[in-house]
Structure 1
Amino acid sequence: MFYGKGSSPPSCDNCPSEGGGQFYTDFRSIGRDDLADARTLHLSYRVRFPSDWDFGAKGGKLPGLYGGPPGHSSGGEHGDAWSTRYMWRVRGGESQATVYVYDPSQGGGYGEDVGLGAWSWQADGGWHTVEQAVDRDSGTITVFYDDREVMREQGIHQISGIPFSGIFFSTFFGGHDTSWGPGRDVHAQFRDFRVSEDELH
């Protein structure tokens, strides 16, 4: 995945370059009603940040799960949808990981960080596995990083009646403006996406 210098979200209309990307998968459209109707679902994938990766000045998004109609699970009104994308946040010059949650309890506007600083994304040129489990009944989000549990928190609300829709592949610097973007062109890689009702690590 390419992220251009100064790039921000795909919706940015004054960024000096483009970067990142975003799309939604749909479990039901591929005949996987079992995944859509699951009470708990696990999403695992591998991500590689090169050793010269630039986390930028503020942060950025990484893929997660979502429920409800596509386009309703991020900024704006999300009374009928939710999402659990990851983020990196830059605090005191250091990158901290978090799950960035949108859910109906928020009403609208921005999402909320869950578990900020519970682990860190490694920019060392190696492949690292991240797995999230979302329990729609209890609202518990559990994260494993390289097979080690790093976070378990009741961090999402009012989603029991909103089935899993799919993977929200969303990655960019931002945020909403060029101040989030990297200081130079950078690349990250993703692979081995898996979804299951059972633990994957």
Structure 2
Amino acid sequence: MFYGKGSSAPSCGDCPSEGGGQFYTDFRSIGRDDLADAAVLNLSYQVRFPSDWDFGERGGKLPGLYGGPPGQASGGQHGDAWSTRYMWRIRSDEPKATVYVYDPSQGDGYGKDVGLGSWAWQADGQWHTVEQSVDRSSGTIAIRYDGQEVLREQGIQDVAGIPFSGIFFSTFFGGHDTSWGPSRDVHAQFRDFRVSAG
């Protein structure tokens, strides 16, 4: 995945270059109603940041699960949708990891950090596996990083009646303006996306 110098969210109107990418998958459209209707769903994938990766000065997004209509699981109105993307946020010059949650309890506006600093993204040129388990009935989010549980928290609300929709593949620096972007062109890699129920 390419992230251009100074790039930010797809909504950035004055960024000097494009970066990252975003799309929604849909479990029901591929005949996987069992995943959509599951009470608990697990998403795992691998990500690799090269050793010269620039996390920027503020933060950025990484893929997660979502429920409800596409387009309502991020900034703005999300009364009938939710999402559990990851972020990196720069705190004390370190890229702290978090689950960035949107859910109906928030009304309009932006999301909330769940478990900020419970683990850290590694920029070492190696593949790292991150897994999220979302329990819609209890609101519990559990995270495993390279096989070790690093977070378990009731971090999402009012989603028991909103089925899983799919993977929200969303990665960019931001934020919505160039202040979030990297100081140079950078690349990250993703592979081995897996979803399972229970």
TM-score of the superposed pair, with normalisation by structure 2: 0.99
Give the Cα–Cα distance (whole angstroms) in 1 for the partners of residues 56 and 10 of structure 2.
Answer: 17
Q: Specify the alignment match of 1:159 in structure 2.
A: 159
Q: Percent identity, aligned pairs only? A: 81
Q: Which moved more, 1:8-17 or 1:139-148?
A: 8-17
Q: 1:145 — aligned with what?
A: 145
Instruction: List alignment gaps of at least 5 residues for structure 1.
Output: none
Residue 96 (structure 1) aligns with: 96
How many residue pairs match? The answer is 198
Aligned to 2:71: 71
Unaligned runs of 5+ in 2: none
* CA deviation profile, 1:114-137 (whole Å, cap 9, x unmatched): 000000000000000000000000
Q: What amino acid is aligned across from residue 171 of structure 1 in structure 2?
A: T
Q: Is 1:26 equivalent to 2:18 in the alignment?
A: no
Question: Secondary structure of 1:110's match?
Answer: coil
Quote the Cα distance in structure 1 between the aligned partners of 2:186 and 2:118. 25
* Paired position in structure 1 for 2:41: 41
AA at the equivalent of 1:37: D
RMSD value, Cα:
0.4
1:180 counterpart residue number: 180
1:23 deviation in Å? Answer: 0.0
- What is the distance in 1 between the residues matched to 2:141 and 2:111? 15
Aligned counterparts of 1:193 and 1:158: Cα–Cα separation in 2? 26
What secondary structure is seen at the aligned counterpart in 2 of 1:63?
Answer: strand
Q: Which runs of 4+ in 1 moved over 2 A?
A: none
Q: Provide the rounded CA distance (Å) in 1 between the counterparts of 2:121 and 2:93.
A: 14
Q: 2:78 aligns to what SS in structure 1?
A: coil
**In structure 2, distance between residues paired with 1:100 and 1:42:** 16
